[in-house]
Amino acid sequence: MDIIKCIKADHDEAAALFGELARVAHDDRRTSDAMRLAVRLAVALKIHAHAEEKIVYEVMSGATPDLAAFSREGKYEHELLDLLLDRLLVQRPGPELVAILKVARHEFEHHARVEEEGELLPALAACLDPGRGLHLAHDFLYERRRIRPAIERLVGPAVRGTHDGLRTHHHRRW
């Protein structure tokens, strides 16, 4: 699997989790399902954003001026999504969760589907020879595995905090 397919597979997984969470986000009888899905979504997207910045944006920053500009903007779009994911993690089902989820999903669709898949990945594919695409996929998957425990530690307390009635927001520290 080359790097383009790896990124699309992650986006598809996140899109499916957004869909599952949207089905229970309004229902206060489904709190544990909603929280479990919010954790899976936040872990998946935080891992993805980290590996993408470290491996893919890094290559783009030294490629064409357009790709370099996108890699700069993309980091801020990741920060926006990260903030929305942190809000999702501490919200029980109800109108507030529905609202946060709608904004997060919109940001994700625009960033991942319209910009990355629509513009950035085709431009990146044109710059990479097939061997380089496979090599980057290897580095991307390695980075995902490496960062997973740290992100799971970070997301876990945000959720446990809700059970204790705390509403703390956790920011990336890696």
> Judged by CB, which is closer to Fe ion: 52, or 86?
52
Measuring CA to CA, which residue among 98, 94, 90 is closest to residue 156?
Answer: 90
> Judged by CB, which is closer to Fe ion: 116, or 143?
116
Measuring CA to CA, which residue among 115, 55, 110 is closest to residue 81?
Answer: 110
CB of 60 to Fe ion, least distance (A): 11
> Judged by CB, which is closer to Fe ion: 19, or 118?
118
> Judged by CB, which is closer to Fe ion: 15, or 98?
15
Measuring CA to CA, which residue among 79, 60, 74, 86 is closest to residue 111?
Answer: 74
CB of 79 to Fe ion, least distance (A): 11
Q: Which residues of 18-40 are buried (b: 16+ CB within 10 A; e: fewer)?
A: beebeebbeeeebeebbbebbbb
CB of 121 to Fe ion, least distance (A): 9
Residues in the site for Fe ion, rule: CB under 5 A? 52, 112, 116
CB of 123 to Fe ion, least distance (A): 14
